[in-house]
Amino acid sequence: MNANTPASARSANRLGLFLRDRRQRLDPAAFGLGGRRRTPGLRREEVAQRAHISTTWYTWLEQGRGGAPSPRVLDRLADALLLTEAEREHLFLVAVGSAPRTQARTQDGISSRLQRLLDAMPLIPATVATATWDIVGWNRAARLALTDYEALPPDERNVLRRMFLDPRTRAAQRDWAAVARFLVATFRAATARAGQDARAEALVAELTGTSDDFTRMWTENDVHTTGEGAKTIRHPRVGEITFEFSSFAVDGRPDLRLMVYNPADEDDLAKMRRLCG
């Protein structure tokens, strides 16, 4: 292969090399497969069987002549080869030139390392949210300034539900309509990236059945990235606090995003010191 090789052929060859490398790294014993083997890893027919494709086609893929698999087949190959999230993304980029849709997950919490990062910000509220705005991680500053998520059952830790169905959460927003519209627009964009998801569908069904405000905003079809911005809340102990918020991807967990709420000025920081002191 050289510089004059067509891009499609170079892509097919990179895909083949990646598949073969990951196949050869798998331990047959981990799959209950024994017997003497002359080469490392699983056999091609074993990977093909796990991915529910023909051995012939899988062999062609490793040889760089099987064509571009569909996203569904790539997902099955990723599962068959036990790929990590980073490896799965690389598989898609090599095979079809674009990243896969993020895979939505259940509310299964965050890593201890990420929790330590949250806890290292004693005066800056920070949360970790899913695409459906379920809060799965938070620090003490978030509990004191925003919502005491620790005191809530897991099903009640959803920002959308609280924003539209909880009067106290609504009253705490200086500009409730702007915040609510932003949440709906980011929810629509994030769940579209994540693909079909029963959790998102159930949440939309619940909120359209209970909130006229949500129904109206949902039918506006606005989309927005979480990005960054500012919001002001009314706190019962210290009055209004303005935060500049920023959103960050969580490496290895494309279904999650880190939200950091930095006090906007010295007066807001002083209020956070009073709350957290």
Domain CATH for 18: 1.10.260.40
- CATH code for the domain in which residue 160 is found: 3.30.450.180
- One domain for residues 148 and 268: yes
What is the Cα–Cα distance from 96 to 84, expressed in whole angstroms?
Answer: 18
- One domain for residues 160 and 271: yes
pTM: 0.69
Residue 90 in any domain: the answer is yes
Residue 105 in any domain: the answer is no
CB-based burial label for 237 (10 Å; 0-12, 13-18, 19+): exposed
C-alpha torsion 99→102→103→104, nearest 10: 180
Question: Of 44, 63, 96, which marks where a domain is finished?
Answer: 96
Tell how far CA 219 is from the center of its chain.
24
- One domain for residues 67 and 175: no
- One domain for residues 126 and 228: yes
Residue 104 in any domain: the answer is no
- One domain for residues 262 and 178: yes
Average pLDDT per 10 consecutive residues for the chain, totaling 277 residues: 57 91 90 80 94 94 87 92 86 84 59 93 96 95 96 94 97 96 93 76 95 96 91 97 95 86 98 96
- Structure tokens, 82: 């036990």
Measured distance between the N- and C-terminal CA atoms of the chain, rounded to whole angstroms: 64
Residue 237 in any domain: the answer is yes
Tokens 């890893």 belong to which residue?
A: 41
Residue 106 in any domain: the answer is no
**DSSP structure string for the chain:** --TTS-HHHHHHHHHHHHHHHHHHHS-GGGGT--S--SSSS--HHHHHHHHTS-HHHHHHHHTT-S-PPPHHHHHHHHHHTT--HHHHHHHHHHHHSSPPPPPP--S----HHHHHHHHT-TTS-EEEEETT-BEEEE-HHHHHHT--GGGS-GGG-BHHHHHHH-HHHHHTBTTHHHHHHHHHHHHHHHHHHH-S-HHHHHHHHHHHHH-HHHHHHHTTT------EEEEEEEETTTEEEEEEEEEEEETTEEEEEEEEEEESSHHHHHHHHHHH-
- One domain for residues 68 and 179: no
Count how many domains the chain has: 2
Residue 101 in any domain: the answer is no
Q: Which domain holds residue 32?
A: 7-96
pLDDT at 3: 43
Residue 88 in any domain: the answer is yes
- One domain for residues 183 and 269: yes
- One domain for residues 60 and 156: no
Question: Of 67, 96, 125, which marks where a domain is finished?
Answer: 96
- One domain for residues 200 and 162: yes
> Which amino acid, one-letter code, is at 33?
L
What is the Cα–Cα distance from 208 to 226, expressed in whole angstroms?
Answer: 22
- One domain for residues 91 and 132: no
Residue 41 in any domain: the answer is yes
CB-based burial label for 192 (10 Å; 0-12, 13-18, 19+): middle
pLDDT digit string, tens, across residues 120-147: 999 999 999 998 999 999 999 999 999 9
- One domain for residues 11 and 87: yes
pLDDT at 106: 47
- One domain for residues 180 and 272: yes
